[in-house]
Amino acid sequence: MFTGHQRWADYQEIHEQWAEKLDLGSYTILGGEPLLNPDVIDWIYGLNKLWPDSKSQITTNASFKRRFDKELYRALVDTQTILEIGLHDINRWDEVMETVYSFIDKPVSSKRIPENISELPNFYENWSSSYNKIRAESWPVCNNLADWEGLPDYIKQECENVHQFSPQKIAEQRQGHSIKDSNGLRVVIELENYFHQGALIKQPEKKITFVCTTVIQLKRMISVIVNTVII
């Protein structure tokens, strides 16, 4: 079983050989928790040097707050690497947002992702299913947001206050957040239940994943995604 950390010096050569074979559309630095890796800065700069034109991001749960320092910030800005935070617990939202705003420079844009809850995958199918589970026999049909607006106020109040079901509640529980600062650093906060739990979830995008153990001869590949696990 693997223990410890994957050090950049131990994997630099194999990645250099991969870089001669592959053009990457994007790559992601993952864990475990990559910010616990003492070589995380070397990984950020090293991969960017090998694939300077690729879209890059690093995914963390933001639990290791001490690593949110000037050195990490500089590396992310220099390499235009997106900082993605996977939030496992909605109760940590305020804590994580405080960490983010203390870490970044002056924010210049901030938006929910997706911007409209109706853009959540399978939204209307899951909306109807969720509403029907709590619907009393006397309640009107409600298959979409327009139907919701036409519901009597007492039904809306019961849905929201008793069942935690309303457009506002869905926004709070399912939408992520994207922030960009004055130096171009982009931070994306994703709710883990937005991917994995219950109705109105976002389906994970399909990615090509490989582990760099042995270099083999490959034809030129364009716009593939590689997840590099470094913990």
Q: Cβ neighbours of residue 44 under 8 Å, at least 6 residues apart?
A: 29, 56, 58, 75, 76, 79, 81
Residue 77: inside a domain: yes
Residue 17: inside a domain: yes
Q: Are residues 43 and 134 in the same domain?
A: no
Q: What pLDDT score was predicted for residue 224? A: 39
Domain range for 74: 8-114+175-229
Q: Are residues 18 and 82 in the same domain?
A: yes
What is the pLDDT confidence band of residue 209, given thresholds at 50, 70 and 90?
A: very low
Residue 1: inside a domain: no
- Nearest in space to 105 (alpha carbons), one of 77, 138, 144, 81: 77
User: Mind listing the pLDDT tens digit for each residue in 43-93?
Assistant: 999 999 999 999 999 999 999 999 999 999 999 999 999 999 998 888 899
